[in-house]
A and B are shown apart, each in its own frame.
Chain A
Amino acid sequence: MTREALTGSRIRERRVMAGQKQADLARQIGISASYLNLIEHNRRRIGGKVLLNIAAALGVEPQALTEGAEAALIATLREAAIDAGLTGPDAARADEFAGRFPGWADVLVGTRRRIAALEQTVEALTDRLAHDPHLAASMHELLTTAAAIRSTASILAETKTLQPEWRDRFHANINEDSRRLSDSAQALVTYLETHPDASETASSPQEEVEVFLANHSFEFETLETTEDTQNQIEVLIDGAQMLQSLAARHIAKGVLQQVARDAARLPIVLLREAVARLGSDPVTLARDLRQPVVRILRRLAALPELGAGLVVCDRSGTVIFRKSVEGFTVPRHGACCPLWPLFSALNHPGSVMATRVSQLGHARAEFDCFAACDTVGVPSYNAAPLVQAVMLLIPTTSGAESAEQMGSTCRICPHEDCAARREPSILSQGV
């Protein structure tokens, strides 16, 4: 079903809303009722003068008939259909559905967005519960103390002939445990109040750095233009209130030093000029600019107009830098999906991975993904080199090329039969 097809449905809807008969409208604009009927049932393309006449007769702007349903709405409907496993002719009729039943389409899209938001919340909370060491320890303490109180209280309540010595001991235990429980609960509440939303506030040095970088939109113009970058880096870090811990400041300094080195060797102006001339293919740019591919990937991520995401991991596979991009979730704490090209690159230093990717659950968000791995630090004898892998994600529109599907992290990935699965998904199995 094409975009034009929607127009017919919308004309019909507007006419009905205006209480006008099909034959009357047809007469008014000088076409036959049967022809208007074909248009309204999306069996004839419409445009030009006929469209203008119909719009005038219905008292609406022509755009209201051709652009009434947003492309995003239709895209979301299609995404919902894909995720629900809807196949066959119905799956291809999202346009028609949106055109004929705009209210229901809004309800469906709203529901889908809410599900997506709730899934993200589940993901964040589960991720946090599973990997935030402070929270995990607090929960363990609470449950353990509750278990002690429950067992002891049951003994006191249910044992009719409890010897005074035991009774006194259990009373003392309950007193001690209830105080512990109270203290632990209070400490936990304080912790959660300080960190009300894991997605917006930092609970680890890495997250502090992410907040810092995001607040700067990952752009550091002063490092692009000045020669005294060390001083500028100090200024930036000293002025960043969100960098509370020493570890966060250390990590941020490392990131900014990398930005400064990249900027010195490949100024953003040069890169922008090359992209305008050659496009954004990293290997083409690397050849033309005589730069390592990993630097090209990092610098492309610094171009705001590309809207690209970037993930960097060290030799252990630990993500040490992330610039998020909508539609591709990088877990905050847990291990990432091993199918990411980032990890293929990590195992093949010197190679450049290039593939179209999309994440399960984000069916309509596709990315041109490039990943490469390079050595870092100073080489030494008889020692395996330290390496870093870099993955660039450039948002793209769905095309003929099929996207390779991958997850974010097993815990929230719906792909049940994945050979790379490490643990069951809470989304599909509710565990």
Chain B
Amino acid sequence: MSKHVVLVEDEVNIAEAIRFLLSQEGWRVETLANGSTAVDVIRNVLPDLVMLDVMLPGKSGFEILDELRADTSFDDMPILMLTARGQSRDREMAEKAGVSRFMTKPFSNSEMLDAVRELTNT
């Protein structure tokens, strides 16, 4: 059975590129362009991986991360954060909030795929 990822990214062309790359690797990709429904969707589909942008309409990536980590049933869920905000304090905030990996844009495809493989042992 293929693995399932929820990608929360409002930048359509980035989302499309990531969706293509992960699909090639056999992933089922659910894409959301708005943060407001992300937590509910994740609770429903219980994906193997969550990929989060930081600056999102509706609800920021940090808020989504906080909500997920506040729920102990998501303790082990790998969360990969992708952001153009590369400032050290963002990284620290994300790490404190329990992100599994923090990547700054622009990143290479191989870098992103390696991170996904590492986080999901695939």
Cα A231 to Cα B17 with chains together (Å): 62
CB distance from A424 to the nearest CB of B (A): 6
Cα A154 to Cα B112 with chains together (Å): 12
**Per-position 1/0 for A420-431, Cβ under 8 A of B:** 000110000101
A169 CB within 8 Å of chain B:
yes
Q: With a 10 A CB-CB cut-off, give which of A151, A158, A173 has the most chain B CB atoms.
A: A151
Cα A21 to Cα B87 with chains together (Å): 63
Q: With a 10 A CB-CB cut-off, give which of B20, B85, B104, B112 has the most chain A CB atoms.
A: B20
Cα A152 to Cα B92 with chains together (Å): 29
Interface bin, chain A: 20 to 34
**Per-position 1/0 for A391-431, Cβ under 8 A of B:** 00000000000000000000000000000000110000101
Q: Which residue of B lies closest to A423 (CB)?
A: B89
A147 CB within 8 Å of chain B:
yes
CB distance from B26 to the nearest CB of A (A): 15
CB distance from A3 to the nearest CB of B (A): 46
Q: Which residue of B lies closest to A158 (CB)?
A: B109
Interface bin, chain B: 20 to 34
CB distance from A129 to the nearest CB of B (A): 9
**Is B84 within 8 A of A143, CB to CB?**
yes
**Per-position 1/0 for A78-119, Cβ under 8 A of B:** 000000000000000000000000000000000000000000
Identify A139's interface contact among B11, B14, B17, B84, CB under 8 A: B84
A250 CB within 8 Å of chain B:
no
Cα A144 to Cα B13 with chains together (Å): 10
B32 CB within 8 Å of chain A:
no
**Is B21 within 8 A of A147, CB to CB?**
no
**Is B11 within 8 A of A144, CB to CB?**
yes
Contacts of A143 in B (CB 8 A): 84, 86, 104-106
**Is A166 within 8 A of B13, CB to CB?**
no
Cα A429 to Cα B89 with chains together (Å): 12
Contacts of B88 in A (CB 8 A): 423-424, 429, 431
Cα A139 to Cα B55 with chains together (Å): 13
**Is A144 within 8 A of B20, CB to CB?**
no
Q: Which residue of A lies closest to B14 (CB)?
A: A148
**Is A151 within 8 A of B18, CB to CB?**
yes
Cα A169 to Cα B17 with chains together (Å): 10
Contact status of A169 and B16, CB under 8 A, knowing A140-B84, A143-B106: yes
**Is B84 within 8 A of A144, CB to CB?**
yes
Identify B105's interface contact among A144, A152, A177, CB under 8 A: A144
**Is B17 within 8 A of A146, CB to CB?**
no
B74 CB within 8 Å of chain A:
no
**Per-position 1/0 for A204-226, Cβ under 8 A of B:** 00000000000000000000000
Q: Which residue of A lies closest to B89 (CB)?
A: A423
Cα A170 to Cα B106 with chains together (Å): 17
**Is A140 within 8 A of B85, CB to CB?**
yes
CB distance from A9 to the nearest CB of B (A): 47
**Besides A147-B106, A170-B20, 11 new A-B residue pairs in contact (Cβ under 8 A), listed by A number:** A130-B87, A140-B85, A143-B86, A143-B105, A144-B11, A144-B84, A147-B84, A170-B16, A170-B17, A173-B17, A424-B89
Task: Return the 7 tightest CB-CB contacts between A and B, nearest first.
Answer: A147-B105, A143-B84, A147-B106, A151-B17, A431-B88, A148-B13, A173-B13
Which A residues contact B (CB, under 8 angstroms)?
130, 139-140, 143-144, 146-152, 154-155, 158-159, 166, 169-170, 173, 176-177, 423-424, 429, 431
The 5 listed contacts between A and B (C-beta, < 8 Å) are: A146-B105, A151-B14, A152-B13, A154-B108, A155-B20
